[in-house]
Chains A and B, each alone.
Chain A
């Protein structure tokens, strides 16, 4: 049973690893779909918690990966999820890094750069929608999300202020509403 879980984690993350153009955010829609809807490992609320904790923690934006592994199957789960997510893409990058400079400045190189940027944009938007639906769309969440997007659009501030400012405001308003 436990080995089945580890295997399922592995099989879920390997393809995501090889297709995650655009980084950690681009796999959120797929992660939500699989962990909540397909496998039922996490509830909607748990997924939102995992997402929030991973965004507020230090490090790359991909810390949701070991955290999901941990929630599903403990320490071994965290290790397997990390290996399955980070190793395949790393091997690919390691190989391509050697070829990279040879093709610099060619149209093919530029086409890959531009073409995959559009793919990444679509995946980021899809991830945003998935997590928004999971979080539920209370009016307060709308205000905090819209406010933080607007602030970032016009001002370049430290995301940590935004996260804990938004979190604090939300908790405060909820407290006085009860």
Chain B
């Protein structure tokens, strides 16, 4: 009907839990909506666009449902945005919907990235183009530094968890051990530490409740 960018500023609130939903879309429409989201987003805010498009503009799912899907998409392995597209597609149209959503978000950008690379190869003898790309890489590295710092601030809630972050950084980044081994070893430790913290927080809350 319209593109997500132009409608993003629309004052319509997201769907609440009891609000009436629109009927689920056809597979082609699902594919097309996710294709547009994929093509119009740069540098990551895709999850925000999906949330807005699905629960505000098109009223396919409630906000609670989309946000719970986002949490799932973030903790599961795989690319977060792909996971979220899959989740939305599945809720709306089952297996075929999941496929349509994931293909929508991946297909067109994949073709474009290969085309950009082909064009670059044609002109790579211009030194300034190589410099431009090195500069883009440096700016992108800056974005990763920012992302890493934020993620560490959010997740290292106790010093043992900070040690987990540091351990993975040293193991994968500095010692260059195989990522599979490092995550398989430290992942369960991290989940166990978090579980212990959560149970302690619960106990503290209950005790203060009794006092």
Q: Which A residues have a C-beta under 8 Å from some C-beta of B?
A: 15-25, 27-30, 33, 37, 48-63, 66-67, 70-71, 78, 82, 85-86, 89-90, 92-94, 96-97, 100-101, 104, 107-108, 110-132, 135, 140-142, 144-153, 158-160, 162-171, 174-175
Contacts A23-B79, A145-B142 given; indicate if A119 touches B180 (C-beta within 8 A): no
Chain B residue at minimal CB-CB distance from A135 = B137
Residues of A within 8 A of B81 (CB): 23, 60-62
B40 interface contact, C-beta 8 A? yes
Closest 3 CB pairs of A and B: A59-B109, A170-B135, A122-B168
A19 CA / B168 CA spacing, docked (Å)? 13
Chain A residue at minimal CB-CB distance from B71 = A113
Whether B146 pairs with A149 at a CB distance below 8 angstroms is yes
B21 interface contact, C-beta 8 A? no
Interface membership of chain B positions 168-211, coded 1 if the CB is closer than 8 angstroms to chain A and 0 otherwise: 11011110101110011011001111110111001000000000
Residues of B within 8 A of A118 (CB): 155-156, 161, 164-165, 168, 190, 194
Q: Main SS of the interface on chain B?
A: helix
Q: Which of B77-110 contact A (CB under 8 A)?
A: 77-83, 86-87, 90-91, 95, 98, 102, 105-106, 108-110
Whether B42 pairs with A58 at a CB distance below 8 angstroms is yes
Q: Which of B101-125 contact A (CB under 8 A)?
A: 102, 105-106, 108-110, 112-114, 116-117, 120
Interface footprint category on B: 35 or more
Whether A20 pairs with B110 at a CB distance below 8 angstroms is no
Whether B172 pairs with A123 at a CB distance below 8 angstroms is yes
Identify the stretch in B7-15, B22-30, B126-134 within 8 Å (CB) of chain A at 4 or more residues. Answer: B126-134
Residues of B within 8 A of A148 (CB): 138-143, 146
Interface centre among A52, A101, A131 (most CB of B within 10 A): A52
Residues of B within 8 A of A49 (CB): 120, 130, 133, 137
